[in-house]
Every structure is written in C-alpha cells, then in structure tokens.
Homo-oligomer: A and B are copies of this chain.
Amino acid sequence: MISKELIGASAKPLVLSVLAQGEDYGYSIIQRVRQLSEDQIEWTEGMLYPVLHRMEKEGLLVSSWQVSDSGRKRKYYRLSKTGAKSIAREQAQWIAVHNTLAKLWGIKPCTV
C-alpha cells in the first residue's frame, strides 16, 4: 500500500510518462499503472479523474471523446506540447529527491 502523499507526488509524472507512449483513457491508465508497478500502485478513479481534469485545465493534456469498437464511449487524453515539455522538469525534480534519499540509503545515484 502506497501512502497518500506518495500517490499525490507520483500522479502527475506517471500520467505524463504513460501518455508519452501514446494517448490513453482514464480507466485504462489505472490498469496500466497497476501493471507497470506489479500491483503495487492501485489508483482509484476518484483520485485519477480529478487529476486528469486539472492537468487538462493546466494545458498539459488534451482530451477527445472516442467510441470503441464495442460501442463504449471513452475520453482519450494525449499530451499537449506543454505537457510533453514538462516531463523533463518532473523527471529532474524526482531524480533530485531520489538521489538525496539514495545518498542516505547508501545506494547508487540515478542518472538519466
């Protein structure tokens, strides 16, 4: 179980990085993150949807309704140019903190 604080801190970089691989929709993003994390990160919809809305409002994401083959309506999100650029900043921040912890833990620093 990942703490609330860590969930909050990782949401934005994870969403940006997932969408960097191609557009995706909310429900699917939750599954993808769960798989990538080997079931360790279990996002709730009540957490993710507001995050997506905020990020769209901030201009990081662009959404579009699409209908799947099964006839289901899905809201697909993709990165805006701003969003694509912001990944590097999020990454730099994360690595900075991670490497500080790495020093204290005596493990190898992380290089991009």
Residues of chain A at the chain B interface (Cβ within 8 Å): 2-3, 5-6, 8-14, 17-18, 20-21, 33, 36-37, 40-41, 91, 93-94, 96-105, 107-108, 110-112
- Copies in the assembly, this chain: 2
21 sampled A-B residue pairs with Cβ under 8 A = A2-B93, A2-B96, A3-B9, A3-B93, A5-B12, A9-B9, A9-B10, A10-B100, A13-B101, A14-B101, A14-B104, A36-B100, A36-B104, A37-B100, A40-B96, A41-B96, A98-B110, A102-B110, A107-B110, A108-B110, A110-B110
Give the most central of A10, A104, A110: most B CB within 10 Å: A104
**In the complex, are the beta carbons of A5 and B2 less than 8 A apart?**
no
